[in-house]
Structure 1
Amino acid sequence: MESQPAQRWEFSNRASKIDPLAKEHPEIKFTFAEVKGKYQDLQHAIVDTRVASRDRLVIWLMSYNGELSKYLSSLGLHLIQPHYANRWFSTIPKETHDTGECLGKIRLEAATGEDHSPLVVIPKPDGLAARSLKFVQWLANENPQGKWERFLNEKQTDLRWDKVILSGISHGSTTSARFAKHQKVARVVAFSGPRDQLESWQSLPSATPSNRYFAFTHILDKGWTADHYCRSWQMLGLAKFGPLVNVEKAKFPFENSRRLITDFDVDGNANKAHGIVVRDGRWKEVWKYLYTHPVDQVGKPSPPDPDCTMKIRPS
């Protein structure tokens, strides 16, 4: 094979094409179907071989975000966006998902493909972990220039989770945090989350040290104004690593905090506030901090936020 010049490599392939064991689960809206010209199991990956690798794999949970992904690749990060079960929320009866003992278990089953919840059946090949593994194995063969094999163990039978950054927005940030409680990873980056405001899993012992969780949200996001996010941040223990920092009023490295917020003008639009933290080039310095700041550099411990409601009742 002729050597090719260093460049930004972008790939997409369907989970069902990569792994014949991958199956659909329409009962929880987890399908391969084509919707508006796009197959639901289409997965994406990106790496830029023009820059030195940071030896970290971002697993992005939620829809592919080209702007953020290209920027992260420019920092020397590899990134994949696998297809996994993330549309089950609306299939769970409200009286069930408001019990406080439901959502975290489903998230963990969606991530691992192991039996953690009686409400869903997601086998191993359809869990986030297996889908990610198969995708990286495919990329290692398809794109040797990207050196994706660095994220596989010696026998190439599992991911090197110590090199993985779990990240996402909203539902994806919540599943990232839940999975990191179970599986030790290099870092978690949570945008507009984590949520699950009636659940207690956020305070469970964590396989991933709590100083490795980083979070960023807009203060007009409904999840913030309803105290969903601050509650999770408190339960995850993030206050031990620095104060709440408004990135509009502080400079990099944001007091080494794990709790970043913005009050950037969004015309009072809560929906815009929810998604803007992963869009708009103005956040690049914040993104760089969240994904690359040394995890052993932490801020000064802060007391619990007295304005954050910790006991939230079902709406």
Structure 2
Amino acid sequence: MRIVVHSRLPKTTWQEKALLVLTPIVLAGLIFLGVCYDSGLYPAQRLRSLMAKHISARIFLALLLALFVEQLPLHAETEVLRIDPALTGPGIEMVHAPHLALYDPRAVPRHRLVLFLVGTRSKTTSNLEMDTILAQWGYHVISLDYENNVITVVCAHSSDPSAFTHYREEILSGASVSDEVEVDPANSILNRFRKLLVYLVRNDPSGGWEQFVHDGQPAWDRIIVAGHSQGSGHAAYIGQLFRVDRVLMFSGPQDYMDELHRPAPWLSRSSETPPSHFFAFLNLHDPFNVDHQIANCMALMHLTKPQPLMVSPGTSIVGTHQILVNDLPTKMHHNSTLFPDFENVWKYMLTTPLDN
């Protein structure tokens, strides 16, 4: 099922109000004059004389039309497709809500797809505002419904160094390796994503999805993998498995082994995506412990010393930084990284030049 979400518009201006009132009046007048001319009710010579005398009316009409043209771009629309996961392939089930797929036909295309993985027990719709903004920036966006009911920190007190690895592997691939989750191959993240892409290419031929598929598989080099909380760790794991454009992690990962006092071993292993292509956005007061999150990110990025940069809404970010931290005064510290206040940080993470 397809719905259309209108772009966020600025407060209605006096020009727009005038357009709403005067445009129908002017159009009706033009139609009336045309009818008079065609029917001979008003001699053509008399009409020309009238128009010549009323120069001010013609100037007003020209200004009105100019205002109308100027306001047209404000009404751009973002395409939002809601897809029942069960329609995309055999054995695939809906977990919480439909998959979301977004793009803006009027935006300058960036030829990149953002795959976003929400956090524990979250629905795809929970990130719709951010997804819509990214689509308006020219990105294709997919928010994937997946098996996310078991929180990541269930493994935090395990004495088994592979606990987090097996947790991630089963959710991503469906391999039966974890004692904490139960996900079959059909409902794994990788299968659900691949099947959704193929479905979109087939059922939305004008959407441009074919550029993100190669021989029936995701074209990973054109894909930005992002996630929040639990989803941030899945995004990082995918980045290790495949050479993606970049990895964006929001409020995570949480894969810190409390009993062993160190990040999970999988975080520091070799990666198909260069470590310099990983970016994280955290909150200083995150209840999941920002120090542990920074340690996890350092392992992923192969950094030897912390380099977090404190950021604020609306301020420019200069230089090369992979770990960004906010101190926004809010009760929702863990979700603050998804607040639209930080569009400046999202844009930096998406567009800062990469070291190849």
Instruction: Normalising by structure 2, report the TM-score.
Output: 0.69
Cα offset, 1:191, TM superposition? 0.5
The answer for the alignment partner of 2:115 in structure 1 is: 59
Q: C-alpha distance in 1, partners of 2:103/2:89?
A: 22
The answer for the alignment partner of 1:228 in structure 2 is: 292
Preserved contact between residue 183 and residue 207 of structure 1 (Cα < 8 Å): yes
Moved more, 97-106 or 140-149: 97-106
Name which of 206, 225, 234 aligns with 1:145.
Answer: 206
Larger relative contact order, structure 1 or 2 (CA cutoff 8 Å, min sep 6): 1
| Pair 1:260-2:307 in alignment | no
Preserved contact between residue 241 and residue 256 of structure 1 (Cα < 8 Å): no
Name which of 112, 123, 139 aligns with 2:173.
Answer: 112
- What amino acid sits opposite 1:42 in the alignment? P
Cα offset, 1:90, TM superposition? 7.9
- What amino acid sits opposite 1:44 in the alignment? L
Cα offset, 1:174, TM superposition? 1.2
Preserved contact between residue 233 and residue 253 of structure 2 (Cα < 8 Å): yes
Cα offset, 1:145, TM superposition? 2.2
Label 1:92 to 1:191 Cα distance change in 2 as closer, same or farther (>3 A).
Answer: closer
| Pair 1:136-2:197 in alignment | yes
Name which of 77, 81, 85 aligns with 2:147.
Answer: 85
Cα offset, 1:91, TM superposition? 11
Preserved contact between residue 113 and residue 124 of structure 1 (Cα < 8 Å): yes
Preserved contact between residue 298 and residue 306 of structure 2 (Cα < 8 Å): no
Q: C-alpha distance in 1, partners of 2:178/2:292?
A: 23
Q: Which structure 2 residues correspond to residues 104-253 of structure 1 after superposition, within 5 A?
A: 104-114=165-175, 116-117=177-178, 120=181, 122-153=183-214, 155=215, 157-198=216-257, 199-225=264-290, 227-237=291-301, 239=303, 243-248=307-312, 251-253=315-317
Q: C-alpha distance in 2, partners of 1:134/1:293?
A: 31
| Pair 1:18-2:83 in alignment | no
- What amino acid sits opposite 1:73 in the alignment? A
**Secondary structure of the corresponding residue to residue 146 of structure 1:** coil
Cα offset, 1:233, TM superposition? 1.6
Cα offset, 1:292, TM superposition? 2.2
- Higher helix proportion (structure 1 or 2): 2
Percent identity between the two aligned chains: 26
Deviations 1:201-254 (A, max 9, x none): 1111111110110100110112334x2111112212364799321112995334
The answer for the alignment partner of 1:287 in structure 2 is: 346
Preserved contact between residue 238 and residue 259 of structure 1 (Cα < 8 Å): no
Question: Considering only CA atoms, is the larger Rg found in Structure 1 or Structure 2?
Answer: 2
Cα offset, 1:42, TM superposition? 1.6
Q: Which runs of 5+ in 2 are unaligned?
A: 1-74, 258-263
RMSD of equivalent CA atoms: 2.7
Preserved contact between residue 314 and residue 343 of structure 2 (Cα < 8 Å): no
Instruction: Normalising by structure 1, report the TM-score.
Output: 0.77
Q: Which structure 2 residues correspond to residues 90-109 of structure 1 after superposition, within 5 A?
A: 97=158, 99-109=160-170
Q: C-alpha distance in 1, partners of 2:343/2:300?
A: 25
Deviations 1:24-67 (A, max 9, x none): xxxxxxxx46xxxxxx2521111111112211111111132111
Preserved contact between residue 103 and residue 207 of structure 2 (Cα < 8 Å): yes
The answer for the alignment partner of 2:79 in structure 1 is: 9
Q: C-alpha distance in 2, partners of 1:104/1:230?
A: 18
**Secondary structure of the corresponding residue to residue 129 of structure 1:** helix
Preserved contact between residue 239 and residue 259 of structure 1 (Cα < 8 Å): no
Label 1:93 to 1:275 Cα distance change in 2 as closer, same or farther (>3 A).
Answer: closer
Moved more, 97-106 or 252-261: 97-106
Cα offset, 1:288, TM superposition? 0.8
Q: C-alpha distance in 1, partners of 2:80/2:323?
A: 31
**Secondary structure of the corresponding residue to residue 221 of structure 2:** helix
Q: Which runs of 5+ in 1 are unaligned?
A: 24-31, 34-39, 298-315
Cα offset, 1:273, TM superposition? 0.7
Q: C-alpha distance in 1, partners of 2:137/2:240?
A: 26
Preserved contact between residue 89 and residue 195 of structure 2 (Cα < 8 Å): yes
**Secondary structure of the corresponding residue to residue 226 of structure 2:** strand
| Pair 1:70-2:70 in alignment | no
Q: C-alpha distance in 2, partners of 1:93/1:200?
A: 13
